Amino acid sequence: MKSPVFYALLLCISLILSPSLCADTELSFSECLDSDAYGLDECVDQKVAPVSNFIAMIIFSEIPLNEDFGIRWIVLWLAAGAVFFTFYLRFVSFWGFRHAIDLVRGKYSDPKSPGEVSHFQALTAALSGTVGLGNIAGVAVAISIGGPGATFWMIVAGLIGMSSKFAECTLGVKYRMYHADGSVSGGPKYYLTTGLSERGLPNVGRVLAVFFAICCIGGSIGGGNMFQANQAFSMTVEATGGATSPLAGKGWLFGLIMAVLVAVVIIGGIKSIAKVTARLVPFMAAVYVITALFIILGNISQVPMAFGEIIGGAFSPEGVVGGAIGALIQGFQRAAFSNEAGVGSAAIAHAAVKTREPATEGFVALLEPFIDTVVICTMTALVIIITGAMGTHPELGGVDLTAAAFSSVFPWFEGILALAVILFAFSTMLSWSYYGTISWSFLFGHSNTSIYTYKTLFCVFIVLGAMASLNNVITFSDSMIFAMSLANLTGLYLLAPVVRKELDYYQQKVLG
């Protein structure tokens, strides 16, 4: 009898290749390829469109609040989980912050503990999967739609999201699996199966774990891979002359170079990935934050005004779109898309840490939303507000608005931004390759053949991502990433007593 995985994958393939599902043409996939009117990327994109649109309609559908705007239900789902764990874990993200710093500094580290990477390496590996375009473009989108007040709610969402990270990463370590070669696998797939089995729900755990793994693979190939390669290539072309750039029309070459660089790193597994991200993440974050600080400190007299707009806009009954409610919605949505608290991806990276106490990685993980959303996103927002870029360039949005804000002070910043996007994209691909590898091995086995098959596919899709803009494929993968939270948060609620028990035990044993 075939496994549920086989039937799930068969269904996905049939949906994509079915001629009856094509929204833009009645041609079959093979007929589309034979047609002179379409390229391979267009055929794939068209065939994915019906499935992509259907899933995106479900995952990203909005709950209308009035005639002008609504909030995506998936954001409410993530926010509800963050609020629940903030209270259930007694505001651990606040009183545990200093201890988290001590753990990252190595104060409580034991090199003989089981695992593969240090607390710092696990943190940077997970951060590399979230720090990126969401911090550069997402903030600008939130402010342009929700006004400066969106920044306030973005910060609030980041602070409460710290508790979700604590819960999922504590469980990621507690239920991780050790392999004969000394490597470690962990994350939602393992605590959903083992943890829920211990609580008398083995079938529920298996279904949720398989669903999570399939979604994670889809997310890693698209949002964690192809989208990153595509955006990095586009920004590089723009920074090197646009249409006259020597790279214009050579996405295959750019993608090939990126694929080789990624392959060199991911062949070594999480240890190799962690070594690279431990250097790359602090460097790229420092370059971006220092540039922002130069602008902020150079306009220090305007900082009180900027914070006044942020706080005032957060509670103003009238504003850019919906006043305080519009600001709250945009703030929470951008934070959710930026730090992925509750999605479960970070638990995969943190599960490889060297520790005997699962709660230690919960403390370390709560730093992620703080760094990603509270620090980096706030820096971006302050620069946009202080420079008045919204008023000067009302036609711009996303990464273009952020670039205009920075470039108004540093004309050469477009080059720095291009470098930042490339580094962010590269580091994101490293992390998501690992997330996809662990999910792939969970479904198809931990053999070298299985693992290297996935890594090869991942690198091939880097080249494809740089060559073509597969909008429907990216929409599909974004939906998959947030669909992961359906399985993950369901498991977190059911396993909440286990997280609380681990926290209480750790407090008594270590924190006294």
pLDDT one-digit tens code per residue, 157-193: 889 989 999 999 999 999 998 877 777 888 899 999 9
Number of domains present in the structure of the chain: 2
pLDDT at 511: 78
Same-domain pairing of 55 and 94: no
Measure CA of the first residue to CA of the last residue in the chain; give whole Å: 53
pLDDT at 103: 92
Assess contact for 178 and 184: CB atoms under 8 A.
yes
**Residues sharing a CB contact under 8 Å with residue 373, sequence separation 6 or more, in sequence order:** 154, 155, 157, 158, 161, 335, 338, 339
pLDDT at 271 over 80: no
* pLDDT confidence band for 33 (50 / 70 / 90): low
Assess contact for 346 and 130: CB atoms under 8 A.
yes
Of the candidates 505, 512, 481, 422, the one whose C-alpha atom is nearest the C-alpha of residue 60 is 481
Same-domain pairing of 31 and 145: no
The three-state secondary structure class of 156 is: helix
Residue 40 within a domain:
yes
Q: What is the mean pLDDT of residues 23-28?
A: 52
Same-domain pairing of 168 and 20: no
Assess contact for 145 and 326: CB atoms under 8 A.
yes
Same-domain pairing of 207 and 137: yes
Same-domain pairing of 498 and 353: yes
Query: Where do the H-state alpha helices sit in 106-148?
Result: 119-128, 133, 139-146
Same-domain pairing of 249 and 120: yes
Residue 67 within a domain:
no
Give the global pTM: 0.83
pLDDT at 30: 61
pLDDT at 330: 67
| Domain around 361 | 73-511
Residue 65 within a domain:
no
Residue that terminates a domain, selected from 59, 87, 103 = 59
Same-domain pairing of 261 and 356: yes
Residue 245 within a domain:
yes
- Tell me: the pLDDT tens digits for 189-204? 999 999 999 999 999 9
The three-state secondary structure class of 39 is: coil
Assess contact for 458 and 225: CB atoms under 8 A.
yes
Report the mean per-residue pLDDT for the chain: 80
- Tell me: the pLDDT tens digits for 377-398? 888 888 888 888 777 777 776 6
Q: What is the rounded CA–CA span in Å between residue 449 and residue 441?
A: 10
Range of lowest pLDDT (263-267, 365-369, 411-415): 411-415
pLDDT at 34 over 70: no
The three-state secondary structure class of 202 is: helix
pLDDT at 316 over 90: no
Q: Tell me the C-alpha to C-alpha distance, in Å, between residue 402 and each of 286, 308, 310, 327, 422.
A: 17, 20, 17, 18, 16
Same-domain pairing of 422 and 317: yes
pLDDT at 90: 92
More confident residue, 317 or 290: 290
Q: What is the DSSP letter of 299?
A: T
* pLDDT confidence band for 319 (50 / 70 / 90): very low
Residue 186 within a domain:
yes
Distance from chain centroid for Cα 253: 26
pLDDT at 328: 66
CATH of the domain at 150: 1.20.1740
pLDDT at 167: 95
Same-domain pairing of 321 and 452: yes
Query: Where do the H-state alpha helices sit in 66-118?
Result: 73-88, 92-95, 97-105
Task: Determine the residue type at 168.
Answer: E
Same-domain pairing of 147 and 55: no
Residue 77 within a domain:
yes
Same-domain pairing of 221 and 366: yes
pLDDT at 16 over 60: no
Residue 354 within a domain:
yes
pLDDT at 102: 92
pLDDT at 10: 42
Same-domain pairing of 300 and 383: yes
* pLDDT confidence band for 85 (50 / 70 / 90): very high
Residue 32 within a domain:
yes
Q: Helix axis angle, 303-315 relative to 378-387, nearest 10°? A: 110
Assess contact for 458 and 246: CB atoms under 8 A.
no
